[in-house]
Chains A and B, each alone.
Chain A
């Protein structure tokens, strides 16, 4: 009897070990808000609703194309799913001061963060931009893509809708 219980408990703890390893959360790194104040990425949350974290730069054409394409439908996306897009700019000191005017000039409604020394980019294991992550309501990264092509925004929205309903996207 004792052997059976031990076996069950061993199997249960092994399963826990396996599930604990496959979750990826957004790491806590100090970067900046547009106004220069410190923002810790551990605080990135959206009230249990999905979140998109998109790394971009003012010199990256495909990055801007994707964010502009999403901007056209962002209001609808928010109304339907409550999704929030966090645009993290990896522009360094050369362009950092131009990010705010650029974002406002383009009428973007996203939450914009500045990562001038690549600290958050490094912590998220991003190689190059654009790189977009989809985070579910529990703060787990469920999907990511390291490219951007015209038409991607529709595919991304399909995934956002699924995550908003709590469905798995595997």
Chain B
């Protein structure tokens, strides 16, 4: 027994570390017939989760406990009850990493495979199986896995297999590391298997997709490209057509001190890829097709007409320039001024019938053929925006933002027959620092349009007492609605207390869905009305 204690002390026991994080959102819902809020029989809804991980040297394991009693409005109601939604163990030894259980993974930019979580949006397509990562020599990175996908508290029917290899040419040798030209090349293969139970048609049980990517940098320039091809994959999402699919992503950027330019082009043709051909909503997605448009952060711009990628087909272009005018100049002011100009445009792809006897998108046929270099006539989205940031003095700082948009309400939000919405949005974001701890921020926004709901105005007033307290009031007013009874105020008040990693936030009022930046933090929130309590922490 004495020996045991002796060894115990001299061996400096490494008992590892336990860490985790926790978040819960509880809402009490008011009946609100004016805004057409749905009746909530439970009155109180709650989403919550806790991650607990244990790490020791090269080993890590953990679980996530989730609770939906019941799920908040805006979340899929199939998230119900309690359970362990995630559990895993992983270890690394001699450049080999093995993960058993749940894991998230992305190949390239995600066009071929992206398993990820966005807890506040209710997105979680975690993989459950076995994954290996191996770096045999410096510069070569290999990954492979076989898994099923998460489906609420269970698993989807399909099996997903993937392999990815990436070579960083400059890491292969000392001499190449000195080269001015930098090259990273990668390739992936992902396939899914799902049994075919259709008695009339023969549906492909194994659907494979392959992709290649290349990134070349030279000095201030970078060019990157990615192409993914998928064989026939009839599903509920593409009307059960047998057409193959492909996705292309191209980008060029130029970067130097004070100036950044990024140009991008994207084309998607029939690239919805899920491990269950009957899956809908945010479920069982294998890949991720991001929109190539500006991600707005101001209330009205981000929440009323947000653009989302169209997996069945779209062609988009984007140009983004950010330039900082030097400080101590007439134009730049004492501290410098940053200007960010962005333009994006999204169209449908070109589609033509395959032959005279088959109509466009007819189920169980090839569906259509599409010329790669032709752009469809239908406009999905156009967005020209400019943002000017200027620190005027030690106490005053402003951001001015303007966007002009064209939005296809019919296609993007699935409201057939609705007209195109032409809108202008202007925002003034002013911060006044009273002293070292106290500051006030005022955000005034206006959305001007003749279509749909008409004009909106929004005002946000936020008072912060650094570092712990923040109080905010926000009003979004649809003053221009053509129906006078719908000219409603969406008024919310919020108090947030933060200390280190603890955050407690209480809000009351009507909330529109979208990105909400309040209390010094940004969160994606669903639409709601009532009292909200959010608590988050990590340890």
Q: Which residues of A contact B515 (CB under 8 A)?
A: 59
Most interface-central of A93, A95, A119 (chain B CB within 10 A):
A93
Q: How many chain A residues have a CB neighbour from B under 8 Å?
A: 72
Does A80 sit within 8 A of B, measured CB to CB?
no
Cβ of A6 and Cβ of B2 under 8 Å apart? Answer: yes
Does B114 sit within 8 A of A, measured CB to CB?
yes
Cβ of B439 and Cβ of A5 under 8 Å apart? Answer: no
CB proximity of A15 to chain B, nearest CB, Å: 10
CB proximity of A40 to chain B, nearest CB, Å: 10
Does B449 sit within 8 A of A, measured CB to CB?
no
CA distance A104 to B114 in the complex (A): 28
CA distance A129 to B259 in the complex (A): 25
Does B33 sit within 8 A of A, measured CB to CB?
no
Q: Which residue of B lies closest to A109 (CB)?
A: B257
CB proximity of A57 to chain B, nearest CB, Å: 7
CB proximity of A124 to chain B, nearest CB, Å: 8
Interface string of A95-116 (1 = CB under 8 A from B): 1111011111111000000001
Most interface-central of B111, B258, B262 (chain A CB within 10 A):
B262
CA distance A68 to B295 in the complex (A): 19
Q: Which of B106, B224, B323, B501 contacts A145 (CB 8 A)?
A: B501
Does B35 sit within 8 A of A, measured CB to CB?
no
Cβ of A63 and Cβ of B522 under 8 Å apart? Answer: yes
Interface residues of B in 56-109 (CB under 8 A from A): 60, 92, 104-106, 109
Q: Which residue of B lies closest to A148 (CB)?
A: B520
Sample of 9 more A-B contacts, CB < 8 Å, known A92-B116, A107-B336: A105-B338, A118-B116, A126-B21, A130-B520, A143-B500, A144-B501, A150-B431, A150-B441, A155-B466
25 residue pairs from A and B, CB less than 8 Å apart: A9-B5, A16-B9, A35-B217, A36-B224, A37-B182, A60-B517, A62-B517, A63-B522, A101-B260, A105-B260, A106-B324, A117-B104, A117-B116, A127-B23, A127-B536, A128-B120, A145-B467, A146-B503, A147-B519, A149-B439, A149-B467, A149-B470, A151-B436, A151-B467, A152-B467
Residues of chain B at the chain A interface (Cβ within 8 Å): 1-2, 5-6, 8-9, 12-15, 17-21, 23, 51, 53, 55, 60, 92, 104-106, 109-111, 114, 116-117, 120, 133, 141, 168, 170-171, 182, 184, 215, 217, 222, 224, 251, 253-262, 264, 288, 290-292, 295-297, 320, 322-324, 335-336, 338, 340, 389, 391, 397, 399, 429, 431, 433, 435-439, 441, 464-467, 470, 496, 498, 500-503, 515, 517, 519-523, 536-539
Residues of chain A at the chain B interface (Cβ within 8 Å): 2, 5-6, 9-10, 12-13, 16-17, 20-21, 23-25, 27-28, 30, 35-38, 57-63, 65, 68, 72, 92-98, 100-107, 116-119, 122-131, 143-152, 154-155
